[in-house]
Amino acid sequence: MRHQKAGRKLGRTSSHRKAMLRNMLASFFQWEKIETTVTKAKELRPLAEKVISLGKRGDLHARRQVLRLIPDSKIVHKLFEEIAPKYQSRLGGYTRIIRTGFRPGDRAPLSVVELVEEVAGGKKKKGRKKKSAAKPAAEATPESAAGEKADAGGVQEGRGETNQPVTKAEIAKTEEPSKTRENDQTQATTSSGDDGKVDAEEESGEKETSPSSSGDKPE
């Protein structure tokens, strides 16, 4: 049982395993992306995270600690001057593992280890754009607004209440008497016209009967 024994042996001796991981670290920071098997990627990722944290510290001792793992001074310079400053506001999670499939020969699962994109000075947020709220309908003109205020003021004066809001039902009630008056006037005019026609017909009938009655003389 392998209790409290972290790490993978990867089928190699300790010296071979350390040399392989050092070479993988150098290639990773040189190209900022490498493709390897999933088990090797899981072993490489913690070392890469630690090296980037040392690069963020930026002092001489941190640089010497990184040179123990990566003996190439050009790659270390790139790490401290270009890569580490991008993650000053990030507390961890500088790399990620993406599975890409299987190797053709032995069907070993492959993956890509790459740096997470980061903008200097803060994390770049990506998200869906929120739809802007629909604009209200066309605004009323000053003349129409003034007319509405005048109508509302007239209704309020008739009620004797100037502070209470006016509803549509109350405005309709004020318009009903005027409509009934107009209907009464139209009915009165039509009825008066009909009465005049009847009187004219009666007078014409009397004139037609009057000559025959006046022609008969008494004996």
Q: What is the pLDDT of residues 99-148, one digit of tens each?
A: 999 999 999 999 999 999 865 455 555 556 666 554 554 455 555 555 66
Is the pLDDT confidence value at 40 over 60?
yes
Is the pLDDT confidence value at 45 over 80?
yes
With b for 16 or more beta-carbon neighbours within 10 A and e for fewer, the 14-27 pattern comes to eeebeebbbebbbe
Residues 51 and 84: their CA atoms lie apart, in Å, by 9
Tokens of 129: 């754009």
Query: So what's the pLDDT on residue 218?
Result: 47
Q: What does pLDDT average to over the chain?
A: 77
Is the pLDDT confidence value at 97 over 80?
yes
Q: Is 212 helix (H, G, I), strand (E, B) or coil?
A: helix
Query: So what's the pLDDT on residue 118?
Result: 64
- Name the amino acid, one letter, at 197: K
Query: So what's the pLDDT on residue 117?
Result: 87
* Mean pLDDT in residue range 148-166: 54
* Mean pLDDT in residue range 197-218: 52
* Residues paired with 35 in a beta bridge: 112
Contact 86, 97 (CB under 8 A): no
* Token pair 């190439």: residue: 72
113: phi then psi, degrees, rounded to nearest 5: -105, 125
Question: Higher confidence at residue 126 or residue 52?
Answer: 52
* Token pair 């947020």: residue: 125
Return the closest-CA partner of residue 72 out of 117, 28, 16, 12: 28
Contact 27, 76 (CB under 8 A): no
State percent of the chain over pLDDT 70: 53
